[in-house]
Structures are given as structure tokens and as C-alpha cells.
Amino acid sequence: MNTEQLRAFCPSLPHVTEDIKWGADLCFSIGGKMFCVTGVDGPLQVSMKVTDSEFDELTATAGISPAPYVARYKWILVEKAGRFTMEEWKHHIKQSYELVKGTLPKKILKGLDGG
């Protein structure tokens, strides 16, 4: 996975928006809530949400650490792009999307689906 592949995959998920926050972070969101964040410059490092059961397992492996500021919400920081295969990247990004989407209020979900 690289930044361009990330920029192609994330917006392919329904209702995803992309923007730059804090001057240098490329953020992908659903309903105004971020599910995937990476730096605009430098080597690819990606933060995303994982399940509670995956968090400890993943952060105990090389190349993955608890994400700064949001680890308590079970977010990881993938520090090495080669840590996952393309299929694993897609799985984890889509899972993060679904986990964050699942926390959205019903009113916002209805708005996303057009009413």
C-alpha cells in the first residue's frame, strides 16, 4: 500500500470524504468521523481503528504500535507499509470504516443514505 493506493481505495467506500487536517494529515472520514489517517509527506504510516480483540495482538507485533492520542479507542499506527499485504490493508481499512460508521448517530446515518 502507498499513499496513492490509499487515496484510491478509501473513497471507493460509500460516503467517504477526504481532507487535510492539522496541516499535514490526510484524513478519510464517514459522517464527519475519521476512520483512516496518514501523513501527507514522508513514508506511509497509517492510523486506523481495529477491534478490541485485535488491538493487543496487532500492537504486540513489529511495525505496529498503539496510535498516539487515540490508542484508548483501539486505534493502531502501522509504521511500515510492508507490514500488511494489499488484501490485509483493504480488510483493516474497511473494518475501521465499519467500526467508525457503527458509532454514528442514526440521524447522520439516515442523512448519508438520503433520508
In this prediction, residue 42 has a pLDDT band, given cuts at 50, 70 and 90, of confident
As separate numbers, helices (DSSP H) first and strands (DSSP E) second, the chain gives 4, 6
pTM tops 0.75: yes
In this predicted structure, what is the pLDDT of residue 3? Answer: 92
> For 29-54, what is the mean pLDDT?
95
In this predicted structure, what is the pLDDT of residue 115? Answer: 54
Query: What domains appear along the chain, each with residue ranges and CATH number?
Result: 3-105 (3.90.1150.30)
Q: In this predicted model, what pLDDT tens digit does every residue of 55-114 receive, in sequence order? A: 999 999 999 999 999 999 999 999 998 999 999 999 999 999 999 999 999 999 888 877
